[in-house]
Structure 1
Amino acid sequence: MAKIKARDLRGKNKEELLKQLEDLKVELSQLHVAKVTGGVASKLSKIRVVRKSIARELTVINQTQKENLRKFYKGKKYKPWICGPREHERLYPLRQYAVRA
């Protein structure tokens, strides 16, 4: 399977993404079996590509879920913590002056 681009994944709905994710996981397990049984180098090099593709799929799924949650809770009085600012932004606000070392 060729390298998957995140921008192509963003146009798909959740069911398509989950189906493609399952296919990638099956392919990864087959590649691991080929690695154990002494497969050719071309199959072994595909393991990294498939792992990165799985990570991209999961990232897109999680980002769309968070985006939909933020849209749903926009303008509401009470929001879940996941809709608020990131922890790093809260702990380290933008400095108004330079820090000297």
Structure 2
Amino acid sequence: MARIKVHELRDKSKTELLSQLKELKAELSLLRVAKVTGGAPNKLSKIKVVRLSIAQVLTVISQKQKAALREAYKKKKFLPLDLRPKKTRAIRRRLTKHQQSLKTEGEEEGDVLSTEEVCH
């Protein structure tokens, strides 16, 4: 089996991906049996390719799931933790831009007074 191209995997549906994953896992188990029974060298070298293909299929499945979740939570008020940006702990705890721009009543009064002084 030749290496799978990821862009082809992205076009497939979830059921197609799961069936392909099942086939690849079955093939891998056959190759492992051949390895134990002393199979041909070309079968042994195929193990690496099949394992890589399994990883690619699993990656595409998880990426599709995450993209669907992002779409589902796009208009919601809160995002699940695993969909939020990771960043660093300090950055996550910072005030938002909106919170930083807010002023107390005293600050607003001071701004009004200072603009009146400049105008007169």
TM-score of the superposed pair, with normalisation by structure 2:
0.72
Residue 3 (structure 2) aligns with: 3
Amino acid at match of 2:49: V
Q: Secondary structure at the match of 2:3?
A: coil
| Distance (Å, rounded) in 2 between the aligned partners of 1:92 and 1:62 | 29
Matches within 5 A, 1:2-41: 2-41=2-41
| RMSD (CA atoms) | 1.3
| Distance (Å, rounded) in 2 between the aligned partners of 1:10 and 1:90 | 31
1:90 paired with 2:79, answer no
Q: Secondary structure at the match of 2:11?
A: coil
Higher helix share: 2
Aligned pairs, number: 91
* Larger radius of gyration between Structure 1 and Structure 2: 2
Question: Equivalent pairs: percent with the same residue?
Answer: 57
Residue 44 (structure 2) aligns with: 44
Higher relative contact order (CA 8 A, sep 6+): 1
CA displacement at 1:92 relative to structure 2 = 7.7
Matches within 5 A, 1:60-75: 60-75=60-75
| Distance (Å, rounded) in 1 between the aligned partners of 2:28 and 2:49 | 10
- 5+ residue gaps in structure 1? 94-101
Amino acid at match of 1:67: A
- 5+ residue gaps in structure 2? 92-120
TM-score of the superposed pair, with normalisation by structure 1:
0.85
